[in-house]
Each structure stands twice: as C-alpha cells, then as structure tokens.
Amino acid sequence: MVEVLILVGTNPVPCYVSAIYLKNHYNNSRISLICSKENKTLGQTGTEDIGQRIKTQLIKEGKFKEEDFNQIISIDDVTSFNSIECKLNKYINEEDKKAIHLNFTGGTKTMAAFCYYYLKSHYKSFSSSYLDSRRKIMIIDGNVADSQIDLRQDPMLAINLETMAVLQNQTDIKPEEYKEKYPELLEKLIDLLDNGNLEEIYGKRNNDLEHMVNQLNITPEKNRLLESVNIKYEELNRNQREDLEDFINGRWLEYYVYNELIKLTGNIQFYFDVHNNQYQVDIVAIYGYQLTLISVTTDKTKPLCKLKAFEAITRATQLGGEEAKTILISRTDEPDNLQRDVEKYIGTLVPNFRAFGETQLKDKSIFPAIINYIKE
C-alpha cells in the first residue's frame, strides 16, 4: 500500500490531475490531501474547501471510490515546521504504511519543503513528485515519469468545462448552445473584413468617443448593409432590433472565429458564449486540462483593447486557474505592441497571453496560430 499525500494550494486543477495520475501510477494506493487552514492573523489562505471539491468531484465522476481517499489533513500554520510535524504525526501512522509518496505540485514552497523533509526522514520507502507546469509532464524523484508525453494529450486526464467550473468554484457557469445566426449577413461582414473594408461600417475610429457612438447606433452605412441581405431594420420589433444590433456591432466576429476554430479542433474542446450571472466570455478552449479563454472584439483603439485584455485575463484565471491562457482577437494594427504592453502589466515570465490583429484575421493565419498557441 502506497500512501499518497498531495499538497493542495489555491489552484485545484494541478492537484486534481496529479491525484488521477498517481492513482493509476501506483496500483495499490490511498490518497490524502494536505491543505492549509485559514488563518487571518498569519495571512494564511485556507484550502480545505478546495481539497473537498477535488475529492467530491473525483468520486462523482467515478474516477475514485470513497475508500480510495484516506483523509483531508489541515495544517494550522504552513510556515511552521512544528505545526506540520505535529499534524503529520497525528494523522500518519508509520507502522501501517509500506511506502509513502509526496506530491508537492500545490501548496507553498515552505509547506513543500517542510513536508518533504519530515517524510523523507521518517520513511525509508519515500518518493516524491510534482507536475511540471511548463513542460506538462510528471516528475517523480527528479526523473521524467513513464515517457516525455505532454500530459494534456492523455485522455485519462482531460477535463471538461463542467469539471473545470466545479474545481474553480464557478458552478453557475455554462456555455450557450451554438446556433447559426444571420448567415448571409455574416458572409457579407467576413467579405468586408477580408477586403479591408470594415471601415465602411464602423468608421475610421479616430477617437474612443466616435467609436462608441458608431457601436451604439445603426448608422446609414450599417442600414445599407442590412438592406443588401434583405433585412429591414424598421420592420423589426424591439427584441429583434437589439439582437441584430448586438450581432452587427461585433458579435458576428465571435461567430466567425468560433466557426473557423471548430474546423481545426483535433482534441481541443471549444465552448461558445460561456457565462453566469456576473460575467460572460466569448469562447473557451480546453486542451487536456489547460483552459484558454478567447476574447473577441471589433475594437481597434489600444486603450479599449487593453481593457478587454485585462478583463479577459481576470476571467481566464477565475475559470481556469493560474495556468490558464488568454487570447485577445481585435482589429488592432499593432497586436505585437499590444501584447508587449499587456505582458509588462501582468509581469509574468510564462507566455500566457497572446494578441492577434486585423491583418492576421484577413490572411486567415490567425486560426492555425491560435491552435498552435493553445497546444504550446
């Protein structure tokens, strides 16, 4: 019997994936989750609820049985070796464990170091592992486990949107069922995009105020476009008008991007119009267990695009955790400059944000580039 201890931090996805991987790696094992107890005095975030969500979801999905779990251990102070030693002494009986394994993917560095030191000094048959977030491989005792395959390609470890939402405590999130809308109008707008003529509809956008006015109104240019596909705006009721305005003022680009991406999906799951009562995101892609949020806008000015990017990054983290990626698709002429500005702000060494602009939309290079980025 191998007792597998998994440190649980604020990002549940790597812990969930590690639990499934290690259960299958060790045929005869039990899992315990080591969490931190909330302590406002110490400024310590509690992760007991995250540990419980991981356990509940694994059992609900049939990947674990109740007896596959030993316990959830809560540490009062993860910065104190004495606190960790006291808890591990209380919960782990050395006599009935033939071997013990520590997965320190989650938790703080201090928590990982103290648990590692204690367990290694008390158990002759001790091993450890962590999920390498950059290479997407499991490292066991310093070596690459099994093979160097990207674990996102392992169907056993794949996560759907429902599971991702539960793990991230976003249980009210759901996608909209994709339905074709205004197909002739969509084709006209794509033609305008391909030929570089969208300015005929949206104007030159010399400033943000002009852009907002054009976005909120059905201008004569937009009306002529509607008439070209036999849509008479003045004959529509209020709800129909609002829906049409939403589509022509930018929603159409979301439909176009989604349609093109699902042609290239491979083993990527795509979800359209994901929302709850608090926020809405355009497209969500999940490759294995990693989420990528795709925000689509017809905005062109840098300040508006940056705001869209920052909001998208926030939502991606809420929905997919710290390792989630974000893509912004806009009509900017300078996507590289926009990307550098955003990366400076978020200050990350991990390339978790990518910006694409109008030129890439027109030459269609954007779609395989998005697929490649999701799989990086």
pLDDT tens string 218-249: 778 888 889 899 998 888 899 998 999 899 98
Last residue of a domain, one of 157, 184, 204: 157
The CATH number covering residue 81 comes to 3.40.50.10770
Query: Is there a single domain that holds both residue 179 and residue 284?
Result: yes
Rounded average pLDDT over 28-45: 91
* Mean pLDDT rounded to a whole number for the chain: 90
Give the rounded percent of residues in the chain with a pLDDT score beyond 90.
70
Residues 91/104, Cβ–Cβ less than 8 Å:
no
pLDDT tens string 154-213: 999 999 999 999 999 998 899 999 999 999 999 999 999 999 888 888 776 544 444 444
Q: Is the pTM of this model over 0.95?
A: no
170 lies in some domain = no
167 lies in some domain = no
What per-residue confidence (pLDDT) applies to 219?
A: 78
The CATH number covering residue 230 comes to 3.40.1350.10
Tokens representing 40? Answer: 């406002």
246 lies in some domain = yes
Query: Is there a single domain that holds both residue 241 and residue 94?
Result: no
What per-residue confidence (pLDDT) applies to 213?
A: 43
Q: Write the single-letter amino acid at 121.
A: S
Query: Is there a single domain that holds both residue 111 and residue 200?
Result: no
Of residues 122 and 287, which shows the higher confidence score? 287
Q: What DSSP character marks residue 67?
A: G
Last residue of a domain, one of 157, 190, 209: 157
Query: Is there a single domain that holds both residue 40 and residue 118?
Result: yes
What per-residue confidence (pLDDT) applies to 239?
A: 93
Residues 64/31, Cβ–Cβ less than 8 Å:
yes
CA distance 292 to 331: 20
Q: Inter-axis angle of helices 208-216 and 302-320, to 10 degrees?
A: 70
Domains in the chain: how many in total?
2
Which residue stretches of the chain are H helix?
12-25, 48-60, 81-91, 109-122, 161-167, 183-194, 199-202, 208-216, 220-228, 238-246, 252-262, 302-320, 335-346, 358-362, 366-375
CA distance 269 to 374: 11
- Does the structure show a pLDDT above 80 at 348? no
Q: What are φ and ψ of residue 27, in 5° steps?
A: -60, -35
Q: State the residue for tokens 């169907």.
A: 155
Query: Is there a single domain that holds both residue 141 and residue 227?
Result: no
Query: Is there a single domain that holds both residue 370 and residue 266?
Result: yes
265 lies in some domain = yes
The set of residues, in sequence order, having a beta carbon less than 8 Å from that of 277 and lying 6+ positions away, is 172
Query: Is there a single domain that holds both residue 332 and residue 222?
Result: yes
> What is the C-alpha radius of gyration for the chain, rounded to an integer number of angstroms?
25
CA-to-CA separations, 201 to 233, 240, 256, 269, 375, in angstroms, rounded = 15, 20, 17, 33, 35
169 lies in some domain = no
Query: Is there a single domain that holds both residue 193 and residue 112?
Result: no
Query: Is there a single domain that holds both residue 215 and residue 141?
Result: no
343 lies in some domain = yes
Q: What angle do CA 282, 151, 16 make, to 5 degrees?
A: 75
CA distance 111 to 80: 8
- Find, among 241, 242, 326, 250, the residue nearest to 283 by Cα: 326
162 lies in some domain = no
Query: Is there a single domain that holds both residue 153 and residue 62?
Result: yes
What per-residue confidence (pLDDT) applies to 224?
A: 86
Query: Is there a single domain that holds both residue 302 and residue 245?
Result: yes
Last residue of a domain, one of 124, 157, 190: 157
- Does the structure show a pLDDT above 50 at 334? yes
DSSP for 158-188, please give it.
---HHHHHHHTT-TT-EEPPP----HHHHHH
CA distance 183 to 187: 6
Query: Is there a single domain that holds both residue 184 and residue 75?
Result: no
165 lies in some domain = no
Q: Give the domain range for residue 90.
A: 2-157
